[in-house]
């Protein structure tokens, strides 16, 4: 492509470090869509003839069909997808192919292709998140009033409902969804026609190509257009936060499916066995999802480092953007789909959840609240009285409801029989009616709100 200026071809090592075709061929359809839009615009603005544009646009479809059929011969010597496609176009249609690269550069071309690719991934992530949220809503609806222990420090804290716990993840993945939509909207500006860095002297119509490619508008500054990779970084940071959410939930599933907890049974379809221990059913999908954050956040860090010291405008460093994003996108989509499958298939063990909910003095706060509400004891004093009762029960080896009224009255004389009504876990969760609380009534309201939001 630049033989006019050069006397010698590149060293083999130069070719190896320079080429991106090994990975950027994933953007073939985006590259061809961008070139077809560019050719149509060049004809509409009179820069090239209608006949040439028609030959280019048809020829590009032939190239695309060859790539899709797997018959296309990719060449490392041709460096990247842009030059591979153009060279093949030349073979197919001859001279008019040389007019395609008028008023553009590979710098705006690669930015356009990559943006189109990342935009598709934002759309795929949106669909994956919605599917996962729906699976969580189904679980939440089934178990809106199933009691389970809520934890802080992974120590029993207060009873909550299964539905409430599922809905916590709906909120988390819901924020991911809103980040995806927000970033997709912001990135949807077309770099095409920014050319190498300064724009072009040809009378091109950037609004026309932007519209043809589904962009909201052309980007407003040609230097920024070719050197911006914020869209890729927003994709990676959104993916990182989402992968972190997936990882936290995966960790809970690993714990919950253990023999010690037995809160859930994962389906055979999303588990594996052991080659030596016949009894084993391992939560491999959850473990792998838990690990995906490593490479996804790694990609985010890597691209941040690539970009951080680059002067305007394009530098070849930016070619290092794609593999990170490809890998992160593949693994984020896979993790979302695997989590959706696991959530759909898993069975909550209601009896174990309920038994665990009632153990570990989980209703101690309810007892303290009763002292405050009924006996008007200041909360700090109620906390102390309850702590004394917990210590008494612990010494006796029983739970709070197993203490006798006399034993309770020995700690605070005002306690009446009425206290036992607040020590049950169902009472406990039903009483937590504050907005956003765990009461089944509140949980069902949130489920309804989300269903409406997704409808």
Beta bridge partners of 264: 348
> In 3-state terms, what secondary structure has residue 292?
helix
Residues 20-59 that bind ligand ARG (CB under 6 A): 20, 24
Stretch that binds ligand ARG, among 49-57, 105-113, 186-194, 441-449 (CB under 6 A): 105-113
324 lies in the site for ligand ARG, by CB under 6 A: no
318 lies in the site for ligand ARG, by CB under 6 A: yes
Cα 60 off chain centre by: 34
Annotated catalytic residues are 153, 274
227 lies in the site for ligand ARG, by CB under 6 A: no
Among the listed residues 283, 279, 259, 280, the one whose alpha carbon sits nearest the alpha carbon of residue 343: 283
Residue placing its CB nearer to ligand ARG in the complex, 23 or 151? 23
Stretch that binds ligand ARG, among 6-14, 62-70, 236-244, 316-324 (CB under 6 A): 316-324
Nearest-approach distance from CB 233 to ligand ARG, in angstroms: 16
Residue placing its CB nearer to ligand ARG in the complex, 82 or 179? 82
10 Å CB burial of residue 380 (0-12, 13-18, 19+) is exposed
Nearest-approach distance from CB 137 to ligand ARG, in angstroms: 41
228 lies in the site for ligand ARG, by CB under 6 A: no
113 lies in the site for ligand ARG, by CB under 6 A: no
Residue from 80, 86, 234, 366 touching ligand ARG (CB under 6 A): that is 80
Nearest-approach distance from CB 79 to ligand ARG, in angstroms: 6
226 lies in the site for ligand ARG, by CB under 6 A: no
340 lies in the site for ligand ARG, by CB under 6 A: no
What is the rounded CA–CA span in Å between residue 437 and residue 430? 9
Contact (CB, 8 A) for 336 and 128 = yes
104 lies in the site for ligand ARG, by CB under 6 A: no
Helix (H) or strand (E) holding 149: strand 147-152
Residue from 84, 107, 209, 331 touching ligand ARG (CB under 6 A): that is 107
Dihedral sign for Cα atoms in the order 265, 269, 270, 272: positive
Nearest-approach distance from CB 24 to ligand ARG, in angstroms: 6
Helix (H) or strand (E) holding 208: helix 206-212
Residue 10, by phi and psi: left (phi above 0), alpha (psi -120 to 50) or beta? Answer: beta
Tokens of 373: 């509400």
What is the rounded CA–CA span in Å between residue 280 and residue 257? 11
Tokens of 38: 């560019």
The contact set with ligand ARG (CB under 6 A) reads 20, 24, 80, 106-107, 110, 314, 316, 318-319
């Amino acid at each position: 492509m630049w033989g006019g200026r050069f006397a010698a071809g590149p060293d083999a090592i130069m070719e190896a470090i320079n080429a991106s075709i090994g990975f950027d061929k994933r953007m073939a359809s985006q590259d061809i869509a961008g070139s077809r839009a560019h050719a149509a615009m060049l004809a509409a603005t009179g820069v090239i003839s209608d006949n040439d544009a028609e030959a280019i646009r048809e020829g590009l479809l032939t190239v695309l069909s060859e790539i899709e059929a797997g018959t296309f011969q990719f060449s490392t010597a041709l460096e990247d997808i842009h030059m591979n496609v153009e060279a093949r176009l030349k073979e197919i249609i001859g001279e008019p192919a040389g007019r395609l690269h008028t008023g553009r550069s590979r710098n705006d071309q690669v930015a356009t292709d990559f943006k189109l690719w990342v935009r598709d991934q934002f759309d795929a992530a949106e669909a994956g998140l919605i599917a996962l949220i729906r699976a969580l809503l189904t679980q939440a609806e089934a178990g809106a009033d199933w009691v389970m222990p809520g934890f802080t420090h992974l120590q029993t804290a207060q009873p909550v409902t299964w539905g409430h716990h599922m809905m916590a993840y709906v909120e988390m993945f819901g924020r991911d969804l809103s980040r995806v939509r927000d970033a997709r909207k912001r990135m949807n500006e077309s770099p095409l026609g920014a050319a190498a860095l300064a724009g072009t002297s040809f009378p091109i119509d950037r609004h026309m190509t932007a519209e043809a490619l589904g962009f909201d508008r052309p980007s407003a500054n040609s230097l920024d257009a070719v050197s911006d990779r914020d869209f890729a970084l927003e994709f990676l940071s959104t993916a990182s936060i989402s992968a972190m959410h997936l990882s936290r939930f995966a960790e809970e599933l690993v714990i919950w499916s253990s023999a010690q907890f037995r809160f859930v049974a994962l389906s055979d379809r999303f588990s594996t066995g052991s080659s030596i221990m016949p009894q084993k059913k391992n939560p491999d999908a959850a473990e792998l999802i838990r690990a995906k954050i490593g490479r996804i956040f790694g990609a985010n860090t890597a691209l941040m480092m690539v970009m951080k010291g680059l002067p305007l405008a394009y530098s070849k460093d930016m070619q290092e953007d794609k593999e990170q994003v490809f890998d992160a996108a593949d693994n984020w989509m896979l993790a979302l789909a695997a989590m959706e499958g696991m959530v759909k298939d898993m069975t909550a063990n209601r009896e174990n959840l309920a038994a665990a909910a009632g153990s570990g003095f989980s209703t101690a706060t309810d007892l303290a609240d009763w002292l405050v509400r009924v006996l008007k004891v200041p909360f700090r004093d109620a906390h102390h009285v309850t702590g004394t009762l917990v210590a008494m029960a612990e010494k006796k080896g029983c739970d709070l409801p197993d203490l006798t009224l006399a034993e309770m009255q020995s700690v605070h004389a005002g306690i009446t029989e009425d206290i036992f009504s607040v020590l049950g876990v169902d009472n406990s969760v039903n009483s937590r009616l504050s907005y956003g609380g765990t009461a089944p009534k509140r949980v069902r309201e949130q489920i309804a709100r989300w269903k409406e939001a997704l409808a």
